[in-house]
Structure 1
Amino acid sequence: MKVRSLKKDKVNIITLGCSKNLVDSEVLSGQLAANDIAVVHENKNLDHNIVVVNTCGFIDKAKEESINTILDQVELKRRGELDKVYVTGCLSERYRGDLESEIPEVDAWFGTMELPLILKKFEADYKSELLGERLLSTPQHYAYMKISEGCNRTCAFCAIPLMRGQHVSKPIEELVAEAEALVKKGVKEVMLIAQELTYYGLDIYKKRELPRLLHALADVKGLEWIRLHYAYPSKFPLEILDVMRERDNICKYLDMPLQHASNNMLKAMRRNITREEMTELIQQIREKVPGICLRTTLIAGFPGETEADVSALKAFLQEHRFDRVGIFNYSHEENTSAYDMVDDVPADEKSRRAQEIMEVQQEISFEKNQEKVGKIFKVLIDKKEAGRYLGRTEFDSVEVDNEVVVHAGKKLTIGEFVQVKITKAYDYDLEGEVI
């Protein structure tokens, strides 16, 4: 008998993919801990005996990373360093049948909505009184908050509805209680996430209620920043902007993935919006909330994309000068409507186009950052690395946006807000001094 099996179980959760997965892992951690089961996230000490891999199945690169991670854990189990390997999340939801036969060493596979079944494997009970409670894997001062699950959109390239199901909103009262619980833990910033923020409320309230939710969250004492991620541009509810303008603790920041700017591509992608309508929306957003930071995400190499489409996209970026831009290479996903199209842009060409597009944005980002030199911003201190403090302004989200290198003549506290005068600016980062 192995000595390990005489010890109390300790579970390590490995999270891959997006912030929505991270929240799921935190909820699982909270449930396990409430059942007196030792649990850690991304454990580096390797003193655990059970692993749960929370997978991503969004695009080819993410799927490959998930499979490699599973295989790594299975190898540890083969060597006797683990007792059990469980797999959950989007990849497991989508390909469970195939994966079970290809990687039989995994002890059990679970879908995206099967938390109670995972707990059963640990002889643990799902505790409904813990609704919204979770063990944070982020630093104490910020957290992601998922306001809905799934998506009703039918974008041609997207497999998310296959893995996450239809849109289901969480009630406002639940989300307010969750925000209050997070503040008690020391959270000062919440990032609202969903596959599609603007659809919020249509299922349970029969109308779009993101503005009402924002007002309710803005009333939570101690919540200093509320940030909006993943808003769909078609039929965008402009009332969101009124709330953003009125409430000081809602960041003037909007993450709105547009995916492309050529009408040919927008139609092929089934985005339900034209370039002209996007232009009008961007103008309205900037008129209603002066100084707002606009972030978008794009796709390079969608089937049928031509050099003319790429040129149209670059011209669109130069015209509208987004503050932040991310880009993905198109991934040909089974059971999406685009899968019936010919994936006719070679992988290296997708990468070349993505690089070309980001070079346009890099110049824009540099110019916009130069405009900040000499100005003073409220900065949230995130961490200290190599003797330097790193923080963010309200115009920057975690990991995906600019960081501010903060020079201070005194010791700063992680999670503290300070006023910083910007002294230098680079393509994607800023530098400044505490005043």
Structure 2
Amino acid sequence: MKKNTIDIITLGCSKNLVDSEHLMRQLEEAGYHVTHDAERPQGEIAVINTCGFIGDAKEESINMILEFAQAKEEGLLKKLYVMGCLSERYLKELAIEIPQVDKFYGKFNWKELLHDLGKNYREELHNERVLTTPTHYAYLKISEGCDRKCSYCAIPIITGRHVSRPMEEILQEVRYLVDRGVKEFQIIAQELTYYGVDLYHKQMLPELVERIADIPGVEWIRLHYAYPAHFPTDLFRVMRERPNVCKYMDIALQHISDNMLQKMRRHVTKEQTYQLIENFRKEVPGIHLRTTLMVGHPGETEADFEELKEFVRKVRFDRMGAFAYSEEEGTFAANNYEDNISQEVKQARLDELMAIQQEISSELSAAKIGRQMKVIIDRVEGDYYIGRTEFDSPEVDPEVLIERNGEQLIIGNFYQVEIVNSDDFDLYGHII
């Protein structure tokens, strides 16, 4: 057990990761040695940043807490703290169920952790972070919370109302990160398109993205988690005109049948969804769209599911994820619908949908063979350098594998690469 060492373990999404990075900076300033997601944590203090989004994520968080609680009982750990979405949501229950944890914090009061360690939160460092990602890219969180009331989603219950960060503060953080070598920014929020409505009384995402794009040293900006209703169409112009704004949009559509969109309380119709996609492709030539879809929401009929499959075949998304509905207590769906579709049916629909997408992804990847693309190098693995194009977000999207062949490439640098081959997920290329 290493004295003065704190191990931080982050579960869930990149928004949680940003919170962990801010906490790590504060802890380092307070004189601690901090590790993140270490293979074998050895510190005398552990902090687990939990996820509470869906069943699987909650289970993973609880298992992780129990594992560390066990280590504490065995004398391998002095203090165990838990923060994040799961403990925001189930603070009281968890404290009773897992008494080995010294203290549970919610998602927003983790600053108290410093106080409980006998340290002070340093306000002047509020924009500073210890990056856990490779140093050439970072996640940039522009808001917290969500004002949408989708039937199935517990996030507004956990994170509360939408709160935008002031634009100047975000730009200051970008400059700070650029000074530390960051070239690529993944802009994240629970819901990007709502940015600015609370602070400036209108949707300010297009202006924010333009102002980030103006900062020297920002080479790629990628946008994650947009909402289809009332989409700020000026963003099309920004994506088209700005070479450092990636032609990539992560927009969770969830479903296509009007029946399901209504039951899910998505405030958008089938026709509007098709129209939005058409506008994207017309206004931003070369755009790659990533979406997330849901199967098995209460009331999803075979006809609804057939419509969803047709949608996936027709639109041919460049990137697609899907998940099966899981009932979350406190949500509109849990209070008003019966979760009456069996786990088997949900799984079968999920598998079928993903099989259709896999074929599409495979064809779209193959179509890139022979193209020259700008690629950023993330890491070395075995005989390959692993990189990404502007159409690929870290962790979730395909990668470009480049044989090492005695060539020395620099991690975090951009190269022109000719795509020579592809498989179901990844591309293979060589340096031009």
Q: Structure 1 residue 36 and structure 2 residue 40: aligned?
A: no
Q: How does 1:11-410 map to 2 (within 5 A)?
A: 11-340=6-335, 341-409=337-405, 410=407
Say which SS state the counterpart of residue 226 (structure 2) adopts.
coil
| Amino acid of the structure 1 residue aligned with 2:131 | L
CA distance, structure 1, for counterparts of residue 401 and residue 431 of structure 2:
10
CA distance, structure 2, for counterparts of residue 187 and residue 397 of structure 1:
15
Give CA-to-partner distance per residue, 1:259-311, whole Å, 9 cap, x none. 01111111000000011100001111111100100000011110111111111
Q: Is the 8 A contact 2:27 2:34 kept in 1?
A: yes
Moved more, 405-414 or 110-119: 405-414
Give CA-to-partner distance per residue, 1:152-178, whole Å, 9 cap, x none. 000000000111111010111111110
Q: Is the 8 A contact 1:408 1:434 kept in 2?
A: no
Q: Is the 8 A contact 1:19 1:144 kept in 2?
A: yes
Cα distance, 1:10 vs structure 2: 1.0
Moved more, 360-369 or 51-60: 360-369
TM-score by length of 2: 0.98
Give CA-to-partner distance per residue, 1:391-411, whole Å, 9 cap, x none. 100001011111111135411
What's the C-alpha RMSD, in Å, of the aligned pairs? 1.0
CA distance, structure 1, for counterparts of residue 23 and residue 58 of structure 2:
22
CA distance, structure 2, for counterparts of residue 198 and residue 45 of structure 1:
40
| Amino acid of the structure 1 residue aligned with 2:201 | K
CA distance, structure 1, for counterparts of residue 431 and residue 409 of structure 2:
10
Q: Structure 1 residue 430 and structure 2 residue 431: aligned?
A: no
TM-score by length of 1: 0.97
**Aligned to 1:420, which of 417, 420, 430?**
417
Structure 2: 5+ residue stretches without partners: none
Cα distance, 1:115 vs structure 2: 2.3
CA distance, structure 2, for counterparts of residue 129 and residue 378 of structure 1:
37
Q: Is the 8 A contact 2:383 2:404 kept in 1?
A: no
Say which SS state the counterpart of residue 60 (structure 2) adopts.
helix
CA distance, structure 1, for counterparts of residue 126 and residue 402 of structure 2:
37
| Amino acid of the structure 2 residue aligned with 1:371 | A
CA distance, structure 1, for counterparts of residue 160 and residue 147 of structure 2:
8
Q: Give the number of equivalent residue pairs.
A: 430
Say which SS state the counterpart of residue 402 (structure 2) adopts.
strand
Q: Is the 8 A contact 2:293 2:321 kept in 1?
A: yes
Q: Is the 8 A contact 2:21 2:132 kept in 1?
A: yes
CA distance, structure 2, for counterparts of residue 352 and residue 131 of structure 1:
46
Cα distance, 1:45 vs structure 2: 4.2
CA distance, structure 1, for counterparts of residue 301 and residue 212 of structure 2:
44
Say which SS state the counterpart of residue 383 (structure 1) adopts.
strand
Query: Which residue matches 1:411?
Result: 408
Cα distance, 1:131 vs structure 2: 2.1
Query: Which contiguous aligned blocks of 4+ residues in structure 1 show a shift greater than 3 angstroms?
Result: none
Q: Is the 8 A contact 2:246 2:390 kept in 1?
A: yes
Say which SS state the counterpart of residue 363 (structure 2) adopts.
helix
| Amino acid of the structure 2 residue aligned with 1:271 | R
Say which SS state the counterpart of residue 422 (structure 1) adopts.
strand
Cα distance, 1:348 vs structure 2: 2.1
Say which SS state the counterpart of residue 43 (structure 2) adopts.
coil
Give CA-to-partner distance per residue, 1:64-104, whole Å, 9 cap, x none. 00000000000000000000110000000001111111111
Q: Is the 8 A contact 1:383 1:389 kept in 2?
A: yes
Cα distance, 1:347 vs structure 2: 1.4
Give CA-to-partner distance per residue, 1:34-87, whole Å, 9 cap, x none. 111221111234331100000000000000000000000000000000001100
Q: Is the 8 A contact 1:407 1:434 kept in 2?
A: no
Identity of aligned residues (%): 53
Give CA-to-partner distance per residue, 1:81-139, whole Å, 9 cap, x none. 00011000000000111111111111000000002211111111111111221101111
Q: Is the 8 A contact 1:26 1:134 kept in 2?
A: yes
Moved more, 93-102 or 36-45: 36-45
Cα distance, 1:250 vs structure 2: 0.5
Q: Is the 8 A contact 2:3 2:43 kept in 1?
A: no
